[in-house]
């Protein structure tokens, strides 16, 4: 049978199949990337405010001091960190480090945990805890 | 021999570009994690950091890498989820245009410092 027409086994009942942890971390890589892309105008605008003039620097401080903006920034911090950690995992797998099932599961768990822990660390700084 | 002919053979190039740009951004991130706490505080010190020749050079590379990286990533999202060719093509073009615009905007911010 031609490879093009060969029926592949498919079982995509979403109530029956379970996404592995690595798959969950992987889809979050995509979600975080999309979020960062959508918020790029905000981030570039903040960069512009922060460096342009002493007056715009004050505006930068006022804008980033707003609780709603802080919440968005917290989401972006998590997105960046998750994307960063997951990216390192992808690069390691590219060079055949951690390809085995158990290691891949452990590294996916590590990515989720490390990015959340670092988000908490930066988040506390963002909300002025230290 | 069964051979399935697919694509325009840009896959490997994009795969590599996605990795190279990721490494550039990762290195910049680690560098800035050390540099920003030194520069943050007052407007003068922050601007001084961002206006420094080396930082400006690195930030330029970061911005170019980011936009190229985002182009490949976002294009892959449209490829995966948007079936009608016309809509997908429109989204590809819009993504490309906004990213080129963002790159110009961000680069002129650091370049006029």
Which residue from B22, B51, B77 is facing A34, i.e. has the nearest CB?
Answer: B77
Q: With respect to residue B17, please indicate whether it lies within any of the assigned structural domains.
A: yes
d(CA B51, CA B59): 10
Q: With respect to residue A35, please indicate whether it lies within any of the assigned structural domains.
A: yes
- What's residue B4's pLDDT? 62
Structural domain total, chain B: 1
CB-based contact B83:B40 (threshold 8 Å): no
Q: With respect to residue B1, please indicate whether it lies within any of the assigned structural domains.
A: no
Q: With respect to residue A15, please indicate whether it lies within any of the assigned structural domains.
A: no
- What's residue A12's pLDDT? 72
Per-residue pLDDT tens over the stretch B77-99: 999 999 999 999 999 999 999 99
- What's residue A15's pLDDT? 77
The domain containing residue A115 runs over which residues? 21-126
d(CA A112, CA A81): 10
Q: With respect to residue B5, please indicate whether it lies within any of the assigned structural domains.
A: no
Structural domain total, chain A: 1
Q: With respect to residue A5, please indicate whether it lies within any of the assigned structural domains.
A: no
Phi, psi of A7 (to 5 degrees): -75, 130
Q: With respect to residue A11, please indicate whether it lies within any of the assigned structural domains.
A: no
Q: With respect to residue B6, please indicate whether it lies within any of the assigned structural domains.
A: no
B 81-110 → A contacts, CB under 8 A:
102, 105-106, 109-110
CB-based contact B44:B64 (threshold 8 Å): no
A91 chain-B contacts, CB cut-off 8 A: 19, 22-23
Ramachandran sector of residue B39 (left: φ over 0; alpha: ψ -120 to 50; beta: rest): alpha
B19 chain-A contacts, CB cut-off 8 A: 91, 94
> Residue B102 has which token pair?
């963002």
The DSSP annotation for A56-91 comes to HHHHHHHHHHSHHHHHHHHHHHHHHHHHHHHHHHHH
Angle at B37 between CA A112 and CA B41, to 5 degrees: 130
Q: With respect to residue B2, please indicate whether it lies within any of the assigned structural domains.
A: no
Per-residue pLDDT tens over the stretch A10-60: 767 777 778 899 999 999 999 999 999 999 999 999 999 999 999 999 999
CB A38: neighbour CB atoms within 10 A?
Answer: 12
Lowest mean pLDDT among A65-79, A113-127, B33-47, B81-95: B33-47
pLDDT > 90? residue A121: yes
Question: What's the burial of A128, exposed, middle or buried (CB within 10 Å: 0-12/13-18/19+)?
Answer: exposed
The domain containing residue B98 runs over which residues? 11-111
CB-based contact A35:A76 (threshold 8 Å): yes
> Residue B108 has which token pair?
């002129």
Q: With respect to residue A6, please indicate whether it lies within any of the assigned structural domains.
A: no
Q: With respect to residue B24, please indicate whether it lies within any of the assigned structural domains.
A: yes
Q: Cβ B50–A33 below 8 Å, yes or no? A: no
Q: With respect to residue A3, please indicate whether it lies within any of the assigned structural domains.
A: no
Q: With respect to residue A102, please indicate whether it lies within any of the assigned structural domains.
A: yes
> Residue B111 has which token pair?
């370049």
Per-residue pLDDT tens over the stretch A50-90: 999 999 999 999 999 999 999 999 999 999 999 999 999 99
Nearest CA in chain B to A55: B43
Residue whose pair of structure tokens reads 């804008």 in the numeric block: A63
At A46, which CATH number?
1.20.1300.10
Q: Cβ A3–B19 below 8 Å, yes or no? A: no
Q: Cβ A48–B70 below 8 Å, yes or no? A: no
d(CA A16, CA B113): 57
Q: With respect to residue A85, please indicate whether it lies within any of the assigned structural domains.
A: yes
At B51, which CATH number?
1.20.1300.10
């Amino acid at each position: 049978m031609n490879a093009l027409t060969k029926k592949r086994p498919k079982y995509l009942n979403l109530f029956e199949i379970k996404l592995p942890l690595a798959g969950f971390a992987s889809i979050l890589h995509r979600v975080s990337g999309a979020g960062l892309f959508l918020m790029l105008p905000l981030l570039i605008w903040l960069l512009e405010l922060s460096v342009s003039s002493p007056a715009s620097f004050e505006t930068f401080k006022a804008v980033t001091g707003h609780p709603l903006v802080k919440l968005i920034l917290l989401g972006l911090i998590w997105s960046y960190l998750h994307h960063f950690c997951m990216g390192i995992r992808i690069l390691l797998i590219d060079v055949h480090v951690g390809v085995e099932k158990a290691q891949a599961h452990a590294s996916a768990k590590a990515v989720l945990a490390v990015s959340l822990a670092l988000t908490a660390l930066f988040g506390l700084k963002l909300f002025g805890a230290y | 021999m069964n051979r399935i002919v697919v694509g325009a053979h840009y896959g490997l190039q994009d795969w590599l570009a996605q990795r190279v740009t990721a490494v550039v951004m990762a290195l910049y991130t680690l560098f800035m994690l050390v540099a920003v706490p030194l520069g943050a505080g007052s407007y003068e010190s922050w601007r001084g950091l961002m206006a420094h020749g080396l930082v400006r050079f690195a930030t330029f590379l970061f911005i170019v890498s980011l936009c190229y990286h985002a182009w490949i990533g976002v294009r892959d999202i449209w490829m995966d989820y948007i079936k009608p060719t016309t809509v997908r093509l429109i989204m590809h073009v819009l993504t490309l245009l906004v990213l080129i615009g963002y790159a110009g905007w961000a680069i002129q911010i650091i370049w006029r410092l």
